[in-house]
Structure 1
């Protein structure tokens, strides 16, 4: 009798192992979304807008290179809908495709400048996607100079999926000094919570390619785009805030162009907060690199020439950094250098007293004294020490 009860108990337990997932969706029924673009169609009033959204969905048959009607089928399809909210637009997508949207493979979200410049709108849209439990925190976000749908609509010859191409371009180009690192959804979430100002890579479509066009500056408290950093200004920002392993610095000696290839940079920042009305920030930038290119026939192996090169590179680095600082303080009124985070970490009590007047209110950031010094070291001159000579190498 006991054995029969034991067998019945085991059989009953096995029933739970045989049950399937209640929310299972067959892979054939999923619409794998790899890219999203968002444009502002109309502003109807305060906090009332009409948005246009495009989703790029993978067509598996196109990835396999199948042929239909003598031509190769595209590996993607772009579906567009408009509405007053992201939720409303998502419902309209359901009527345009038989596939259930699936966002776990999403690579990039492209947002137009019009949306980024509208107070609170960019923040509200990002909040929708941050809440989505299918959305990965590694999704990249970029701002488009033109309509966002045009960026997602490029069709590069070497890539079958435009969104994947954009994702790759952002990763590769981030190795240079004049392009800002890709910004991911998880980073934006943190920045929205802290109300810190930040920058997002800015792109533009050109000849079925995507080109970087500086960086969009988002003010933390107004949550809107307040300006743009050019390529040279982005160099200054990267030199101050990042440890770089790529890029180059152009400089001249006696009207001769030289290229300093950056191998590594490191910055140290010290902040004096004794007087809140005269906060002083000292930035020191150390750089290591080599001479990648030069014009002229003079040897580089002379000690005095080495010192002159290092001095000129250091001056150029300081020039880039000061240009960016000047724009951030005088034009943008936005702390894009993460000084606020350093104040919070190192001078917490003082930060609690001034945080509401840092880059808003009294705008203490704009009135800070910021000093920059650089020290560049040349580690090598390449295979030869002359580019034009009569035979000596």
Structure 2
């Protein structure tokens, strides 16, 4: 009996402890999206996006059927901007449903230390929130509606949930940006976005060093960057041109999967050996009269292998020239041999001087010709 009483008392205390922090839905102003720009009169211009909560039985809201509203203020600190924004709403600001934080390129180049520090410290902000850098005004981007998804912040959230986008961009959440920034190379990345007329375009990645935007990775480079960092990438697309029987044939491949195996050799400078195996399917031929013979397939595979090898070499070289290493290669060395890592002087010259041996093996696993019933199985 005493045990039952004690359990009931504990439950009552726990329930009572939750009451002071609990609020009804109509007592919260739920921030769905947030934009951060440089201010004209102050350091920051902050824009928040709030859904308009209405009684569903009454139909659309009284604001022309809009489902959200945006408010913008300027302040010298982000938190003071939040305090000011709270005077614009009938209830307290709540960050628990925040989906995306959109940051202008100007702010990103100055540095995100204060921005991510506040997001990390504010307990109601989930570390799963997406970060996006906008090539333009974050406030304008935050207000832009898509004909497909009404709330701009929800558009970004849904966009990054579609994993096939990885070939052109990659969703980065707050915790991942902080984790990568705290690795030995201090490098991380955030997806890029911009407005093209009334269209929302999300593609490419901004590469950061110690919280500052330093350079950008564009379009198809993103998939290769993902491969170098995560050792695996899917849904890669590429187009190669081969000479087959004295005819130049443009061949497009899609849904390619690449897997990387990497190890380093303790030389001076360090030598990385990258072995890549992949497969994909042909989705288009410029010359439809070409048959998918064994010799033709082998030529496509050989050219595709060279394509990926050249693109990866070029991407690595560019990052070495910038002296930014966003793929945790230095961290691999540090984790496996800290003493050797110290000898490399990684941040100053170790990464810039690193050597790479890259080998690619690629296989066509589908020609996509469903109507070609008499083709023979590809020989191996």
- TM-score, length basis structure 1: 0.85
Aligned residues: 366
2:314 match: 323
2:270 match: 279
- Map residues 61-72 of structure 1 onto 2, 5 A cutoff: 61=54, 66-67=59-60, 72=64
Structure 2 CA distance, aligned partners of 1:41 and 1:17?
44
Contact 1:61 1:73 survives alignment (8 Å): no
Change (3 A) 1:183 1:65: farther
2:378 match: none
Q: Are positions 1:192 and 2:181 aligned together?
A: yes
Q: CA deviation at 1:183?
A: 0.6
Q: CA deviation at 1:392?
A: 7.0
Structure 1 CA distance, aligned partners of 2:262 and 2:11?
63
Q: Are positions 1:113 and 2:105 aligned together?
A: yes
Contact 1:300 1:385 survives alignment (8 Å): no
Structure 2 CA distance, aligned partners of 1:122 and 1:339?
23
- Map residues 1-393 of structure 1 onto 2, 5 A cutoff: 19=16, 21-41=19-39, 50-61=43-54, 66-67=59-60, 72-118=64-110, 121-172=111-162, 174-176=163-165, 178-194=167-183, 196-220=186-210, 223-242=211-230, 243-254=232-243, 255-275=248-268, 278-330=269-321, 332-354=322-344, 357-359=345-347, 361=348, 363-384=349-370
Q: CA deviation at 1:345?
A: 2.4
Contact 1:282 1:370 survives alignment (8 Å): yes
Structure 1 CA distance, aligned partners of 2:200 and 2:90?
30
**Mind listing any 5+ residue stretches in structure 2 that lack a counterpart?**
376-380
1:308 alignment partner, SS class: helix
1:286 alignment partner, SS class: strand
Change (3 A) 1:211 1:231: same
Q: CA deviation at 1:287?
A: 0.9
Contact 1:239 1:285 survives alignment (8 Å): no
2:136 alignment partner, SS class: coil
Structure 1 CA distance, aligned partners of 2:55 and 2:311?
46
Structure 2 CA distance, aligned partners of 1:9 and 1:226?
59
Q: CA deviation at 1:66?
A: 2.4
2:182 alignment partner, SS class: helix
Contact 2:164 2:234 survives alignment (8 Å): yes
Change (3 A) 1:58 1:308: same
- TM-score, length basis structure 2: 0.87
Structure 2 CA distance, aligned partners of 1:17 and 1:226?
49
Higher deviation after alignment, 310-319 or 345-354: 345-354
* Cα distance per residue 1:64-86 (max 9 Å; x no partner): 782356x7421111011111101
Superposition RMSD on alpha carbons, in Å?
2.9
1:150 alignment partner, SS class: helix
1:4 match: none
* Cα distance per residue 1:275-325 (max 9 Å; x no partner): 2xx111121211111111112144444222221111011111112211211
* Cα distance per residue 1:77-100 (max 9 Å; x no partner): 101111110111111012111121
Change (3 A) 1:284 1:166: same
Structure 2 CA distance, aligned partners of 1:27 and 1:203?
32
1:37 alignment partner, SS class: strand
Change (3 A) 1:81 1:298: same
Q: Which runs of 4+ in 1 moved over 6 A?
A: 8-15, 62-65
Contact 1:318 1:373 survives alignment (8 Å): yes
Change (3 A) 1:14 1:190: closer
